[in-house]
């Protein structure tokens, strides 16, 4: 008797599940039969331009009894400044959205194609400016579990080359990140992971530790070690202000056409590394949902440049690959940075979806192409009241029903 | 100087390629509705986490139905043929059915997440939002 009852219950559950499934299919079928054009992605194709400059700093003369490599090359260079221009983009190539088994949790996975083209011009007094390029195409996968977590995987191969003369030179490198972000609440988030980056002047495998206090669409303090530390204050939906500190730098190929590597004149090129810690303020201006810009200024500290030849070092026994033949640390100076961001396309809605806000944030904090600059979180909307908004008749058309009295 | 010149050229090209105003404007009303509902619906953080993705998806689908119907309505003129008139009426019927089915389907999902009481409150808030917007327009 008990067995029969259990069997009947199981059959009823199966029939119930089948009926529910049929309802789901039927409910979708009328919608699907309309063959409507729908947005496929949550990310808009985003192109951003960034210009950074730092004035030349004269090298202080040092009293030395014996002429060292450093003092000889110091005299050759005289000063150091930076002019940098970066054009970057990311575009969604595939987005998978689905419900978890209980049909109440909505999760999604985003595959983004990323790319950048960076032109870096270190300016020295006594030698002709070199134009160093760093460019590449990469892939990002961001998985929003729909509950508390977001997974982030970034693969960024890039090439560096010096195009000052036609001499072939350059290296291929890879920067990667693997991060897990956990939203304990809307106001508290932590991130853990690993990153391989060159922005600290050389190849480093670093742990990633992130902490955010405050909502992403409000005032928040974000510490994303080793990428940046910032206090973000949205003034209104058009203006966002932030105070930040972040590293900037990279490893580049540098031609030896000026014979800076004077005791190895046969070397055609060597490695040039540079890093600095920027501390300053940034103002983001949102002109529309798709166009924004920013200006930023502050102080460049702990600036450091090095020259070394990996090729030559690797031929010497018991010598580390990055044994510098020249190193210079510079005193703090000012910098100026501005950028322009343009977004294209229509996306699925993500209003008040805090996990999606975290997806956007993790994508923006981790600059494309291992360049520590980005378009900012301008796709996260800042709340605005109905009275503050400028609506036209087309906007409110959907709100009026013919049956309304 | 050369860099600045290149930046100006790229900015000009991007501005020319920039998307039309209409897409951005359509998104504006959704932002306002979401802010209004979030303020008055009293969702817990667990409910909010599950509610908004489903609610946004429902709104996207409803908007797509309405937009499609309106586009067909705009392209219809008194000189259109009988067949075109028939097609338009059929489309309206299909759109109404699709919207009703969507609502039923998503109401079931939303009820699982926030319960019947809050779902009913949501419906009230949606109506109140319409009135608020119309009132604000009138004041302007």
| Residue whose pair of structure tokens reads 């944030």 in the numeric block | A361
Q: How confident is the model at residue B30 (pLDDT cuts 50, 70, 90)?
A: confident
Nearest Cβ partner for A398 among B53, B66, B136: B66
Q: What is the largest CA-CA distance in chain B?
A: 64
- Contact status, residue B87 vs residue B99, Cβ threshold 8 Å: no
Of A242-246, A268-272, B23-27, B123-127, which gets the smallest average pLDDT?
Answer: B23-27
| Residue whose pair of structure tokens reads 């969702």 in the numeric block | B43
A272 vs B135, which has greater pLDDT?
Answer: A272
pLDDT at res. B137: 75
- Give me the mean pLDDT over the A5-11 stretch: 58
Burial pattern A261-280, b for ≥16 Cβ within 10 A else e, equals beeeeebbbbbbbbbbbbbb
Q: How confident is the model at residue A386 (pLDDT cuts 50, 70, 90)?
A: confident
A368 located within any domain:
yes
Residues A88 and A237 in one domain: yes
How many CB atoms are closer than 10 A to CB A61? 9
pTM given for the model? 0.86
Strands (E), chain B: none
Residues A154 and A30 in one domain: no
Residues A27 and A175 in one domain: no
Residues A271 and A155 in one domain: yes
Q: Determine whether the interchain pair A386/B132 forms a contact, defined as Cβ–Cβ distance below 8 Å.
A: yes
Number of domains comprising chain A: 2
- Contact status, residue A381 vs residue B57, Cβ threshold 8 Å: no
Distance CA B22, CA A395 (A): 9
- Contact status, residue A373 vs residue A337, Cβ threshold 8 Å: yes
* Smallest CA–CA distance from A148 into chain B, residue: B49
* Smallest CA–CA distance from A355 into chain B, residue: B49
Q: Where are the domains of chain B?
A: 45-115
pLDDT at res. A19: 43
Residues A257 and A308 in one domain: yes
Q: Determine whether the interchain pair A355/B104 forms a contact, defined as Cβ–Cβ distance below 8 Å.
A: no
Distance CA A354, CA A186 (A): 7
Beta pairing, strands A239-255 & A149-162: unpaired
Q: Determine whether the interchain pair A399/B130 forms a contact, defined as Cβ–Cβ distance below 8 Å.
A: yes
State whether residue A345 is helix, strand or coil.
coil
Q: Determine whether the interchain pair A34/B68 forms a contact, defined as Cβ–Cβ distance below 8 Å.
A: yes
Nearest Cβ partner for A33 among B94, B129, B139: B94
Q: Is the dihedral of CA A255, A259, A265, A270 positive or negative?
A: negative
Distance CA A51, CA A83 (A): 8
Residues A52 and A26 in one domain: no
Chain B residues lying within 8 Å of A29, measured CB to CB: 101
Average pLDDT of the residues of chain A:
85
Model confidence at B133: pLDDT above 50: yes
pLDDT at res. B17: 55
pLDDT at res. A22: 39
A395 located within any domain:
no
- Model pLDDT for residues A352-373, shown as the tens digit of each residue: 999 999 999 999 999 999 898 8
Chain B residues lying within 8 Å of A348, measured CB to CB: 56-57, 60
Distance CA A128, CA A391 (A): 55
Residues A96 and A245 in one domain: yes
- Contact status, residue B95 vs residue B71, Cβ threshold 8 Å: no
Mutation choice for A interface testing from B19, B34, B109 by most A CBs within 10 A: B19
Cα–chain center distance at A52: 16
Nearest Cβ partner for A394 among B25, B98, B101: B25
ipTM: 0.82
Residues A222 and A351 in one domain: yes
A19 vs A272, which has greater pLDDT?
Answer: A272
- Contact status, residue B119 vs residue B110, Cβ threshold 8 Å: yes
Q: Determine whether the interchain pair A290/B19 forms a contact, defined as Cβ–Cβ distance below 8 Å.
A: yes
A89 located within any domain:
yes
- Model pLDDT for residues A299-328, shown as the tens digit of each residue: 999 999 898 887 777 777 777 777 788 888
Those of residues 164-193 in A touching chain B at CB distance below 8 A are 185-186
Burial pattern B43-67, b for ≥16 Cβ within 10 A else e, equals beeebbbbbbbbbbbbbbbbbbbee
Residues A26 and A68 in one domain: no
Give the range of the structural domain holding residue A27, as residue numbers without chain letter.
1-36
Residues A232 and A298 in one domain: yes
Q: Determine whether the interchain pair B24/A391 forms a contact, defined as Cβ–Cβ distance below 8 Å.
A: no
Q: Determine whether the interchain pair A340/B113 forms a contact, defined as Cβ–Cβ distance below 8 Å.
A: no
């Amino acid at each position: 008797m008990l067995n029969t009852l259990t069997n009947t219950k199981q059959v009823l559950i199966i029939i119930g599940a089948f009926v529910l499934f049929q309802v789901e299919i039927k409910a979708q079928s009328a919608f699907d039969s309309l063959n409507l054009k729908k947005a496929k992605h949550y990310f808009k194709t985003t192109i951003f331009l960034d210009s950074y400059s730092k004035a030349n700093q004269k090298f202080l003369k040092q009293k030395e009894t014996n002429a060292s490599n450093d003092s000889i090359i110091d005299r050759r260079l005289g000063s150091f400044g930076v002019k940098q221009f970066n054009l970057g983009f990311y575009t969604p190539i595939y987005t998978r959205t689905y419900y978890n088994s209980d049909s109440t949790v909505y999760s999604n996975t985003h595959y983004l194609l990323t790319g950048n083209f960076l032109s870096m011009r270190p300016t020295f007094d006594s030698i002709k400016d070199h134009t160093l390029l760093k460019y590449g195409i990469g892939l990002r996968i961001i998985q929003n579990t729909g509950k508390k977590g977001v997974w982030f995987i970034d693969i960024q191969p890039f090439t560096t080359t010096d195009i000052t003369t036609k001499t072939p030179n350059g290296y291929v490198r890879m920067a990667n990140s693997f991060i897990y972000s956990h939203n304990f609440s809307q106001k508290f988030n932590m991130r853990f992971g690993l990153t391989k980056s060159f922005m600290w002047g050389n190849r480093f495998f670093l742990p990633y530790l992130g902490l955010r206090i405050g909502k992403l669409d409000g005032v928040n303090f974000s510490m994303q070690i080793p990428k940046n530390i910032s206090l973000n204050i949205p003034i209104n939906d058009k203006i966002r202000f932030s105070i930040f500190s972040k590293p900037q730098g990279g490893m580049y190929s540098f031609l030896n056409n000026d014979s800076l590597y004077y005791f190895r004149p046969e070397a055609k090129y060597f490695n040039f590394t540079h890093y600095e810690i920027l501390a300053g303020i940034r103002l983001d201006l949102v002109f529309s949902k798709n166009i924004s810009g920013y200006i930023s200024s502050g102080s460049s500290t702990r600036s450091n440049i090095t020259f070394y030849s990996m090729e030559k070092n690797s031929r010497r026994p018991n010598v580390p690959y990055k044994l510098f033949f020249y190193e210079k640390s510079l005193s703090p100076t000012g910098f100026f940075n501005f950028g322009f961001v343009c977004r294209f396309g229509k996306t699925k809605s993500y209003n008040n979806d805090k996990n999606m806000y975290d997806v956007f944030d993790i994508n923006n904090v981790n600059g494309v192409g291992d360049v520590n600059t980005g378009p900012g979180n301008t796709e996260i909307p800042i709340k605005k009241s109905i009275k503050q908004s400028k609506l036209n008749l087309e906007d409110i058309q959907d709100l009026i029903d013919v049956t309304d009295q | 100087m050369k860099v600045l010149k290149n930046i100006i050229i790229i900015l000009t090209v991007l501005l020319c390629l920039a998307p039309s105003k209409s897409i951005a404007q359509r998104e504006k009303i959704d932002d306002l509705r979401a802010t209004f509902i979030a303020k008055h619906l009293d969702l817990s953080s667990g409910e909010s986490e599950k509610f908004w993705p489903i609610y946004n998806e429902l709104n996207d689908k409803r908007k797509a139905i309405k937009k499609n119907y309106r586009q067909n309505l705009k392209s219809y003129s008194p000189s259109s043929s009988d067949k075109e008139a028939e097609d338009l009426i059929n489309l309206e019927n299909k759109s109404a059915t699709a919207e009703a089915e969507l609502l039923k389907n998503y109401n079931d999902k939303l009820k699982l997440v926030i319960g019947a009481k809050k779902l009913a409150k949501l419906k009230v808030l949606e109506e109140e939002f319409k009135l608020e917007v119309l009132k604000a327009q009138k004041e302007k």
